[in-house]
Structure 1
Amino acid sequence: MQSLSVQSLPTVQSQLALTLPSSNDDQLPERVLQFGTGVLLRGLPDYFIDKANRQGVFNGRIVVVKSTSGGDMTAFARQDNLYTLCIRGVENSELVEETVVCSAISRVLSAKQQWDEVLQVATSPELQIVISNTTEVGIQLIQDDVRQSPPESFPGKLLAVLYARYQAFNGDPTKGLVIVPTELIPDNGTKLEAILLELAHRNALEGPFIDWLESANTCCNSLVDRIVPGRPDPATHHALTEQLGYEDDLLTISEVYRLWAIEGDESVQNVLSFHKADENIVIRPNIDLFRELKLRLLNGTHTLSCGLAFLSGFDTVREAMDDELLSSFISGVMLGELIPGIPYPVDEKAAQRFGFQVLDRFRNPFIEHRWLAITMQYSAKMQMRNIPTLLHYYRQLGVTPRYITLGFAAYLLFMKATTQEDDVWYGEREGVNYPIYDAQAGYFADLWARLSPQALTITVLQNTTLWGHDLNQLPGFADSVSLYLVQMIETGVFNTVSAQFDHLETLSK
């Protein structure tokens, strides 16, 4: 079977109704520089820009910078930077199946091998926008030399790009960029801007550049919301390939629901003209409501459920939602505990509506969202997504939240590494190893090797470096987490959850 490419498209005989690229897409100017090649970017921002190009309201392509060594960068070159996005799900009670061959990406550059070319893009007069998704740990301040080729960190790379642009245009205030990070951290644009300014000072860059950096460029806080799993499982990939009539190594599946909320004013709207292509691109002066609902309910539920569901024997979100017990846990933690704990003034009915919408998204029959993928950087996600909610729940209600406690105990058990290979720690589920991709994996491996579950619980909860708070100070929390953790070890995670629901049913009678 032929592979996806510009040359093969005219001969494709597909069983699906394909939306194909326009014939003049390759003539559009490169207006966007994107740091990251992941599926979330392809499934949301890049899709939106592709959609806008089709409607003639943006007319610009994306140069992608790949900073990591993992993954197959050559797939983009083999396919002329085309990729297929299969959109599947339910919207307004209607089944939706849409298939788009996206052509918004013009080229993919390796930061390590093609840094000079990246800097050349920085000096283009047509460049207007920077987009990024470098994972939740990508926006952090580290000591970095912006004159390296390339700098080590994402903020270092971005600062080098901006410095090259400043030099190329002699500090022209009209040549600044609109920078839209999509990393899932609160105030991502504000934090990125602060890091850029600090790095500029640490690198002793001249004062006029720092003034230009601050005044001519705009770092926007933003929020992306769309479930875009990784590569489809082999059976799904094979079935879609047969229907498409071509091979696509970048084949991406997403749900129908989509949201890109961007904090900005009218001038930002003018630059990000692609927002006209879809009502779910929202540019407003304040996006806190969107951020809180997604972060606390969708992402927070994912984080509190992933270890528990995975260790209960479920590999995907859909499998767990098809199980009465796990579905009850997921609904209970979201609607019963996370909503009351949202540390932001939110209308309860609006939060409930959002929560039910999220549960429908979790039940999407077309999405194979793997729990193991959700556990990546588990500790950082737990801190950012759930600890503020936990603290506010205690302040509001003053009681121990049963579902959150269960989810936290399962997190501790998931982090129990038994072996290490090639710098990766592995836990064990039913005799099969699973990878623990977490910056704290070594810390937990050490604790599990020498502490009892009770002592480990206390030690982890009092680690203010991890949580920003001593969680042992929350009445009853440590005792409950420890009790559940011991039960999970002795009787299994699924049986522990089952016992708790039996207990709740007994209390209700």
Structure 2
Amino acid sequence: MKTLNRDTANITTQYPVKVLQFGEGNFLRGFVDWIIDILNEKTDFNGSVKIIQPIERGIVDLLNKQDGLYHVLLNGIQGGKETEETRLVTCISGAINPYNDYNEYLKLAENPDLQFIISNTTEAGIAFEEADTSMETLPGSFPGKLTALLYHRYTHFEGAADKGLTMIPCELIEKNGAALQQTILKFARHWGLSTDFTAWIREHNIFCNTLVDRIVPGFPKDNIKEIQAELGFEDNLVVKAEPFHLWVIEAPRSVERAFPAEEAGLQVKFAPNLTPYRSRKVRILNGAHTALVPVAYLQGLRTVREAVEDERTGTFIREAIFEEIIPTLDLPEEELTKFANDVIERFQNPFIRHELISIALNSISKYKVRVLPSVLTYIDRKNQLPERLLESLAALILFYKGEWQGETIPLNDSADILSFFEEAWKEEDAAKVAKAILSNTAFWDTDLTKVDGLQELVTEKLEQLQQAEKKEKLGLA
């Protein structure tokens, strides 16, 4: 088996570095770098990526050992058929650890070809750290590091307007671009940097809000030897991912022209406002997950795929999506229907085992954010109750009893929420339990018993579930 590098793989093309990427993890390599590699193949983007390790320990040494090469394996369902695809990603020109050489890191800012900064440093990564007191030494936080890099670029090019950069963060927080800009400006004030620099940041750099969507399980350690044998290379950076990908970028037309992903046929959408797309993802994908979990779990199912392929729960979640969630959204119906069909196929992916109990983490707050807006909007628009979404709420209340058919449910939520449910379930009366849960404004930010008919329907569904449990215990089901 051959060692993987540019000589053994016969990769001779070199592109100028147009992208600095903070983060070398599976998601960025299986999503962003995969996209850039296709851009190089199908458009005149002609740019490479230099990776910056955002924390002291990482895998840049391994990346450099393989000359930035690795394979992305896509496995999933598309158009109702199982699909597999392998791509050797070649767009990474190298990686550095700024903790080893701060000056080498700052010199990256002197590159006149540089256009983009991409990052994924976890949801906590875009945060101000007061402990980063100056840029004389390497700041610990990602925004601190980026502020130092941008200041070096500003001084090196004497504040040239055309040397500003486009920041495309992928951290999973709302308005991530705006948050990154505000944090950089806060560091500029913290370090006493000039007002001319802050004006340059505001006027000549672009901070894009983004939404990313692809499941990337990562390194396939369970069968890596078989995969390496099939590839013919000893690739120790293989990334597995699903075929579906979506990247919505809130940016001006100039960014779309500089990053021509749609031209390459990729699901990268530039939009003046990504809020409708965030709502679509949160309500259809995440909301369907959350609505499905308690219903499927109480039916004895344990994975998303099993639940979607089960006749009863599969019908339940499809009807919830198409009849009760989609009517609450404001994008064209064709777009919503396609996205929903893609979501169902993703749920059925045989290459990913997605445990229901793992999705059940913090389900009360998830229901509030992901499902309740659909419930309330549906009622407002249709003047009727969404039965399936409220059946899910009833199942969730019973799920949080923590016991089903004599077996303990491993609940995972905050202590105060679990304590409230434990106290509520001391009652035997489903109506009293439902009222206690639905009226808890700390859970829902509103008293759901005030919504006409909602308490009665949830109570009815809850009683039906309890009757089903009793029949199952007696062997009458």
TM-score range, shorter chain: 0.7 to 0.9
Residues 480 and 229 of structure 1: is their aligned pair in 2 closer, same or farther, counting only changes over 3 Å? farther
CA contact (8 A) 1:229 1:368 kept: no
What is the distance in 2 between the residues matched to 1:443 and 1:348? 40
| Residue 271 (structure 2) pairs with residue 292 (structure 1) | no
SS of 1:97's partner is strand
Q: CA deviation at 1:229?
A: 3.0
Question: Does the CA contact (< 8 Å) of 1:43 and 1:85 recur in 2?
Answer: yes
Q: 2:441 aligned to 462, 471, 483, which one?
A: 462
Q: Of residues 167, 185, 203 in structure 1, which corresponds to 2:155?
A: 167
Deviation at 1:33, TM superposition (A): 1.8
1:49: how far off? 0.5
Q: Does 1:119 align with 2:98?
A: no
CA gap of 1:182–1:457, structure 2 versus 1, over 3 A, is farther
Which is further off, 194-203 or 173-182? 194-203
Structure-1 separation of matches of 2:111 and 2:47? 13
Partner of 2:323: 336
Question: Residues 386-429 of structure 1, C-alpha deviation per residue, up to 9 Å, x if partnerless?
Answer: 44334323433455544434555777788899xxxxxxxxxxx9
Please tell me the root mean square deviation across aligned C-alpha atoms, in Å: 4.5
Task: Please tell me the residue identity of whatever aligns with 2:109.
Answer: A
Q: Secondary structure at the match of 1:171?
A: coil
SS in 2 for 1:295: helix
Choose which of 181, 194, 199 in structure 1 pairs with 2:169. Answer: 181
Alignment match of 2:12 (pick from 4, 23, 30): 23
* Structure 2 counterpart of 1:220, one-letter code: C
Note the alpha carbon deviations across 1:155-204, whole angstroms, 9 max, x for none: 44433432333233332221111111233444433343344445544554
1:120 partner letter = K
Q: Structure 1 residues 299, 213: closer, same or farther in 2, change over 3 A? A: same
Q: Quick one: structure 1 residues 175 and 232, their matched pair in 2 at CA, closer, same or farther if it must change by over 3 Å? A: same
Q: Retained in 2: the 8 A contact 1:184–1:223? A: yes
1:441-462 deviation per Cα after TM superposition (whole angstroms, max 9, x unaligned): 4655666787758599749952
C-alpha distance after superposition, 1:235-269 (max 9, x if no partner): 5x555344323443332223333332323333212
| Cα 1:410/1:269, change in 2 over 3 Å | same
Q: 2-side partners of 1:107 and 1:485: how far apart?
A: 57
1:326 maps onto 2:313 in alignment: yes
Counterpart secondary structure, 2:108: helix
Change (3 A) 1:203 1:374: farther
Identify the residue that residue 259 of structure 1 maps to in structure 2.
246
Give how far 1:132 is off: 2.3
Q: 1:351: which partner in 2?
A: 336
Q: State the match for 1:388 in structure 2.
A: 373
Residue identity matched to 1:163: Y
CA distance in 2, matches of 1:240, 1:178: 37
Taking the TM superposition and a 5 Å limit, the aligned residue runs for 1:16-165 are 22-24=11-13, 27-55=14-42, 57-67=44-54, 75-91=62-78, 96-110=83-97, 117-139=104-126, 145=132, 147=134, 151=139, 153-165=141-153
Runs (5+) with no aligned partner, structure 1: 11-21, 418-428, 503-509
**Partner residue, 2:202:** 214
CA distance in 1, matches of 2:465, 2:129: 39
Q: Which string of whole-angstrom CA distances, capped at 9 and with x for unpartnered residues, describes residues 215-248 of structure 1?
A: 011112233333333444725x555344323443
Q: Do the aligned partners of residues 8 and 172 (structure 1) sit closer, same or farther apart at CA in structure 2, a change above 3 Å counting? A: same
Q: Is the 8 A contact 1:58 1:274 kept in 2?
A: no
| Percentage identity across paired residues of the two chains | 34
For 1:54, what is the secondary structure of its paired residue? helix
TM-score of the superposed pair, with normalisation by structure 2? 0.77
Q: In 2, Cα distance between the equivalents of 1:363 and 1:352? A: 17
1:363 to 345, 348, 369: 348
Distance 1:409 1:171, change over 3 A: farther
Contact 1:416 1:444 survives alignment (8 Å): no
1:269 aligns with 2:259: no
Query: Partner amino acid for 2:373?
Result: P
CA distance, structure 2, for counterparts of residue 297 and residue 489 of structure 1: 28
Give the unaligned 5+ runs of structure 2: 427-432
Distance 1:295 1:448, change over 3 A: closer
Shift of 1:51: 1.4
Partner Cα separation in structure 2 for residue 200 and residue 97 of structure 1: 47
Structure 2 CA distance for partners of 1:458 and 1:163, relative to 1, 3 Å: farther
The letter of the residue matching 1:23 is T
Which protein is bigger by CA-based radius of gyration?
Answer: 2
Letter in 1 for 2:12: S
Distance in 2, Cα, partners of 1:111 & 1:303: 40
**TM-score (normalizing by structure 1):** 0.73
Q: CA–CA distance in 2 between the matches of 1:270 and 1:341?
A: 33
Query: How many Å apart are 1:2 and its aligned residue?
Result: 5.4
CA shift in 2, pair 1:321/1:458, >3 Å: closer
1:301 aligned counterpart, secondary structure: helix
- For residues 301-355 of structure 1, the C-alpha deviation after alignment (integer angstroms, 9 at most, x for no partner) is 234335665686655432332322332333233223222333xx23445423432
Are the aligned partners of 1:46 and 1:104 in contact in 2 as well (CA < 8 Å)?
Answer: yes
Equivalent residues of 2:116, 2:166 under 8 A apart? yes
Specify the alignment match of 2:429 in structure 1: none
Q: Is the 8 A contact 1:222 1:261 kept in 2?
A: yes
* Shift in Å, 1:213: 0.9
- Is the 1:229–1:370 contact (alpha carbons within 8 Å) kept by the matching residues of 2? no
Instruction: Tell me the secondary structure at the aligned position of residue 76 of structure 1.
Output: helix
Q: Which moved more, 1:41-50 or 1:54-63?
A: 54-63
Q: Relative to structure 2, which stretch is displaced further, 352-361 or 440-449?
A: 440-449
Contact 1:306/1:372, CA 8 A, preserved across alignment: yes
Q: CA deviation at 1:85?
A: 1.0
Corresponding residue number in structure 2 for 1:228? 216
1:253 is paired with a residue whose SS is: strand
CA distance in 1, matches of 2:139, 2:294: 35
